Structure 1
């Protein structure tokens, strides 16, 4: 950063460092890191200094954002996402309106009524006084409607449709202020929760996601004008290449009769159908395998495996003979066939060596048996629709890869924040509903996996519920046991992550794949148009050739009749040839050509 500032200037000038938004972000992160380093060098036990240091440690987790400025593809994706978020003010306003309306209504219906008595024997307890008189705890549900903030958090959990049933049942069981809940006390409140799920969970949020995805595509198309120009040039190049190829003699024109026969066999559709039938039968035999098979069945399946391997070897050999090796490996699917054949042969050889000569590690044999499943992929090359789908996935990999890198940065940053914020949470005093041995923030690796669970929507509301502070927990910066954090931080952390991971990025990845699939279909249509255009050009060329030859013949005949020249001079015929005009009897044995 210092070198760039010295070279281009800091704030003034056409290329000044801080005139770019990306450089502002980059420089801010560098300055934060320097301040964090200086603060850590100040050895002080002051709680204020410790709190400031913790804030800078939280900001330090944003350092991976500097990668965006150094990866052009990732930078383009981020710019596109940010550009797509600008025009969605109306839909955001609609979402907020629905949330606020249902939040205010929820506060009016359920405020203070989600409390319950926590104890062993709840018989005869109907209110708060009965609970306290037995030395039980009068506790509140983590997701409640006591105020608008709590209501909005509970409604967001409802809109994600993860754990919404528990919140709904708590609402149905609520009796009133300082009253013990009763099962299904007020069933008509079901309308409130179902209406919110239908209107917001199914409609409004999906509309929000749809608008984001649509704006993403629109911004992407504006940034891909050069890509469209390259595609048009590529199409013109393909058309010219095919024209030249049509004028060239076919590669098999000099084949011997036996090789031409093999070529006709392997290029026949019936040959592909026969191979597809063999592959299907091979899949059936692989599906028959089971634990503790009879010896006779094991032997039969072994013979079938040898037979199928021999058929695949014969298929590859015939195609190499018919097409030639270099033309054969031009198709990537044929390379897959060769790999499958090699794996099959190696598997058979290892099995024979294991049983006769050399002891082979059973794990290697299991891996080779598992690799037989790759034979199913041979069916894919025979289905044009599936091949088009796979080609779509391959074409989308660069853009999806950039989105995947953005996903990784999101997980990395939030995992580092999670370790700093929730690393001291413990479930020993208060039982956890989401956090535990396999989901916690005590180290970076488990925090990363926990966030992956949150991104998939698997009990993420239980994980967030465990991070919400209790009344008796310690939220100080130097706590040791029963630690917690501010009531505001945990909802902000999880709501932002769920919005970005579940609602935006995952749907953008799906939208990118769908867009490429649509482009793949257009590409197939363009290919068909190219073929039709070349066929029309070929037919027009043939018709023009026929007309030209006919015109030349007519012109020659007229010239002969007008000048009465012997055809021996015109067409270099034998000297004893005589010309007879039409209508005269022939005096020679040679027929007249005019």
Structure 2
């Protein structure tokens, strides 16, 4: 173990471990800094330090004076503990020398920097308490890095083990994508910054009184409201009578910080407008000062590219990066869950179709209620009744309203109170009924039942007269949430978004931690500003940073902060808020979109299943013949018989008529007959050449008599029929194909038993392959993956599991549908001489009909090589105008269909 640990601390790490404090846990000689209780104490100290720095503001000390001494004592104790830990680790590891020196570890460097800022904060607070440093001093900025100590508490949850090469690959690909989209963003920012300087320049022309001195401009000299104007009389806004358009040379603290004076200011204005916050006022300012087409073109294209395109590109990149990280961190995130019933026990059972899981005692509960109550609880009527009651309660509550006509408040809800009592009692009885039927253990197994019980307790307290229409009213309103169960689609949708709470919950916690850290940092940066309530204490700072996160009037927060800082620090303040806004809007909010899209994304198997299911349904619809062909089903059969004298074994068998098959096909149901049929069929299937017996010499020659039993005759006929059907199937002909779940004989009497077709399947395939049939090979490989048509019956059992359906089965069923359609058409064609002749004018064997058929099928084919074999075809004609031949062919087709 020691050797393994020493190797893991060297440069070539096999696993990357982002939990530095656990690196020495497995050592036999554990130092006190690496003990579990010490690490937990340090994490608690990190949280207390964050709380202390969040309370360390002048305004907070004015409201609660004892907090100044409490925070000082807490910081002093925490600083001594962290300092002792740092010294102990330096002693164990070494400062600059050793296997893992302290100052060469990144996390140790972070811990040392936090200790340094803790000592700076203690010294600064001591000077403030002694009066050496004023209360509202800019030196409070030195405390701003202290909130980052929260990372020490968070990093314990970021521990994971993964090959270092894979981690480097993730960071490399993710950083490359983010780097590319950042360059894309900066390109458009720079482009529109330069265009803004060239298009608009300084926008300082205002309408002022005619008697205004340019060096003494007051607010009374401006128009009401303040209006920008144009010096050019042919464009922009013209000042009214008694006023003139004058360029004002005032400070930015008076004129505002946005504009297009130079490149830096233009970039600032472009980002502010691209955030879609106040961009309309900047556009109207440009329209009033310059020709209107410039502002319309500039701002419309800027909103399209920067506000919409770049933002969506960021979302796409973050979504793709998150998906890649999710795949790599599958062990950390866990497998995507499905809505399954975990309380039901399942056993593995098998039948003729295959193996499947069967729920065992799914309706068995541990409650004390009789079986009739159990049946009522499971019935759909009971659920519909409860949904109706909850819907009625919501509708009654929605009609409650108040009027300000000086009447007592209780008069408005007096009748509603008794209605609410009735609903509450009814729903409480529902909860008791479920507990009675399911038992306490069975009831509390479901989270939904826990939510129902919480609502029942809250609403029961709510109907107490002293608590009615108090804060407990929220429990009454939350009853409407139960209506989600009324719609399975809505329930599944809500589960996909909120069900996998590990990802969404972790992202919410990350966002809250980011808000807390950024709020505390901003509070320490700007709390020294007098009469500025945006960051005077932690609650105000938290609301200001959350306001920037929601992009609601975030420019106002930035402008007010810039107005209260020095002119040299104004660009730094603007950069701070812009970077924070860029991070939370383009990355953090994009993470929410990525997580929700990942939750809503269907599995690839389910997508393929739905697509193939739709194809299967469309293929099954095409099984029906057109109406003009179905007419012949109403006529009696009048087939034309053919006499078959001799069948050579070296050639494919011809088609066998259905009427001929019906006379000899028989079914074997009893098990004892199967052995007899099997022996008879083995006579024809056997490939063993038996040695003939030596003839016996007798005194008198016996008469030659052939004895053929009835079973042997039937087996011979079945053998011929099955061999013919197998070859028709493999050659793609419209023949019989076994259908899973069908009876051995269809309505036309066709054999559809896969068991009978497997008897001589291999022999037919072998013979056809020897004959060089390429079509047979393609069809056979496409339909049968394991050399067995009957496998489709076994695969059909997967329909009980909707996510494990074999795609091969659906493809086979699609071809079966087409073959069954062709089979029906062939049956009608064999049994009706006038088939497919709607007008009944031309006989089937008419010479005119044959001539038309020959002309139709003699179509033009420009291919000089056979597409299947690749050999050169013998073409009798060399040149023929293609368009003319196609038109003639189409006309002949129409004529042929008519006759």
TM-score normalised per structure 1: 0.67
1:201 matched to which residue of 2? 307
The structure 2 residue matched to 1:102, chosen from 185, 192, 197, is 192
CA distance in 2 between partners of 1:14 and 1:240 (Å): 54
CA separation of 1:213 and 1:551: change in aligned 2, threshold 3 A: same
The structure 1 residue matched to 2:381, chosen from 270, 283, 288, is 270
CA separation of 1:36 and 1:374: change in aligned 2, threshold 3 A: closer
2:514 matched to which residue of 1? 410
2:399 matched to which residue of 1? 288
CA separation of 1:310 and 1:37: change in aligned 2, threshold 3 A: closer
The structure 1 residue matched to 2:434, chosen from 319, 327, 336, is 319
CA distance in 1 between partners of 2:160 and 2:570 (Å): 34
Task: Quote how far apart the aligned CAs of 1:234 are.
Answer: 13
Task: Quote how far apart the aligned CAs of 1:91 are.
Answer: 1.4
1:387 matched to which residue of 2? 491
1:456 matched to which residue of 2? 550
TM-score normalised per structure 2: 0.46
Query: Is 1:153 matched up with 2:236?
Result: no
Q: Is the Cα–Cα contact under 8 Å of residues 81 and 216 in structure 1 kept in the other structure? A: no
CA separation of 1:233 and 1:366: change in aligned 2, threshold 3 A: closer
CA distance in 2 between partners of 1:413 and 1:163 (Å): 28
1:119 matched to which residue of 2? 219
CA distance in 1 between partners of 2:454 and 2:189 (Å): 56
Secondary structure in structure 1 of the residue aligned to 2:261: coil
Query: Is 1:65 matched up with 2:151?
Result: yes
Task: Quote how far apart the aligned CAs of 1:161 are.
Answer: 0.4
The structure 2 residue matched to 1:25, chosen from 110, 116, 119, is 110
The structure 2 residue matched to 1:213, chosen from 313, 319, 329, is 319
1:279 matched to which residue of 2? 390
Query: Is 1:467 matched up with 2:561?
Result: yes
Map 1:85-96 to 2 at 5 A.
85-96=175-186
Secondary structure in structure 2 of the residue aligned to 1:146: coil
1:245-286 CA-to-partner distances (Å, cap 9, x unmatched) read: 847455549999x92222222212222112211211111111
Secondary structure in structure 2 of the residue aligned to 1:126: strand
1:279-332 CA-to-partner distances (Å, cap 9, x unmatched) read: 111111111222269999856544543443343244334434443443233222
CA separation of 1:224 and 1:7: change in aligned 2, threshold 3 A: farther
Q: Is the Cα–Cα contact under 8 Å of residues 40 and 53 in structure 1 kept in the other structure? A: no
Query: Is 1:366 matched up with 2:456?
Result: no
CA distance in 2 between partners of 1:14 and 1:241 (Å): 54
Query: Is 1:399 matched up with 2:518?
Result: no
Task: Quote how far apart the aligned CAs of 1:489 are.
Answer: 0.9
Secondary structure in structure 2 of the residue aligned to 1:277: helix
Map 1:398-547 to 2 at 5 A.
398-425=502-529, 440-469=534-563, 475=566, 486-518=569-601, 522=603
CA distance in 1 between partners of 2:191 and 2:252 (Å): 33
Q: Is the Cα–Cα contact under 8 Å of residues 346 and 359 in structure 2 kept in the other structure? A: no
Structure ID, larger Rg: 2
Q: Is the Cα–Cα contact under 8 Å of residues 377 and 434 in structure 2 kept in the other structure? A: yes
1:4 matched to which residue of 2? 89
Secondary structure in structure 1 of the residue aligned to 2:370: helix
Q: Is the Cα–Cα contact under 8 Å of residues 119 and 137 in structure 1 kept in the other structure? A: no
Q: Is the Cα–Cα contact under 8 Å of residues 453 and 460 in structure 1 kept in the other structure? A: yes
Q: Is the Cα–Cα contact under 8 Å of residues 419 and 444 in structure 1 kept in the other structure? A: yes
CA separation of 1:218 and 1:452: change in aligned 2, threshold 3 A: same
Task: Quote how far apart the aligned CAs of 1:162 are.
Answer: 0.6
CA distance in 2 between partners of 1:418 and 1:400 (Å): 27
Q: Is the Cα–Cα contact under 8 Å of residues 68 and 74 in structure 1 kept in the other structure? A: no
CA distance in 1 between partners of 2:593 and 2:301 (Å): 28
CA distance in 2 between partners of 1:260 and 1:375 (Å): 29
Secondary structure in structure 1 of the residue aligned to 2:547: helix
CA distance in 2 between partners of 1:288 and 1:302 (Å): 13
CA distance in 2 between partners of 1:286 and 1:474 (Å): 52
Secondary structure in structure 2 of the residue aligned to 1:463: helix
Secondary structure in structure 1 of the residue aligned to 2:221: coil
Q: Is the Cα–Cα contact under 8 Å of residues 83 and 219 in structure 1 kept in the other structure? A: no
CA separation of 1:337 and 1:194: change in aligned 2, threshold 3 A: same
CA distance in 2 between partners of 1:138 and 1:126 (Å): 21
Task: Quote how far apart the aligned CAs of 1:99 are.
Answer: 1.0
CA separation of 1:259 and 1:406: change in aligned 2, threshold 3 A: closer
Q: Is the Cα–Cα contact under 8 Å of residues 74 and 402 in structure 1 kept in the other structure? A: no
CA distance in 2 between partners of 1:95 and 1:152 (Å): 12
Secondary structure in structure 1 of the residue aligned to 2:522: helix
Gaps of 5+ in 1: 176-184, 352-359, 428-435, 476-483, 530-548, 556-594
Q: Which has the higher helix share?
A: 1
CA distance in 1 between partners of 2:194 and 2:251 (Å): 31
2:787 matched to which residue of 1? none
Secondary structure in structure 2 of the residue aligned to 1:108: helix
Q: Is the Cα–Cα contact under 8 Å of residues 418 and 441 in structure 1 kept in the other structure? A: yes
Map 1:546-557 to 2 at 5 A.
none
Task: Quote how far apart the aligned CAs of 1:171 are.
Answer: 1.7
CA distance in 2 between partners of 1:312 and 1:137 (Å): 65
1:222 matched to which residue of 2? 328
CA distance in 1 between partners of 2:310 and 2:267 (Å): 15
Task: Quote how far apart the aligned CAs of 1:372 are.
Answer: 1.8
CA separation of 1:156 and 1:264: change in aligned 2, threshold 3 A: same
CA distance in 1 between partners of 2:446 and 2:280 (Å): 53
CA distance in 2 between partners of 1:146 and 1:266 (Å): 74
1:442-475 CA-to-partner distances (Å, cap 9, x unmatched) read: 2333122111111111111122122335xxx873
Secondary structure in structure 2 of the residue aligned to 1:173: helix
Task: Quote how far apart the aligned CAs of 1:399 are.
Answer: 3.5
Task: Quote how far apart the aligned CAs of 1:168 are.
Answer: 1.3
Q: Is the Cα–Cα contact under 8 Å of residues 316 and 338 in structure 1 kept in the other structure? A: yes
1:170-204 CA-to-partner distances (Å, cap 9, x unmatched) read: 222225xxxxxxxxx53442211111111111101
CA distance in 1 between partners of 2:516 and 2:366 (Å): 61
2:623 matched to which residue of 1? none
CA distance in 1 between partners of 2:506 and 2:144 (Å): 25
Q: Is the Cα–Cα contact under 8 Å of residues 159 and 197 in structure 1 kept in the other structure? A: yes
CA RMSD, 1 decimal: 4.8
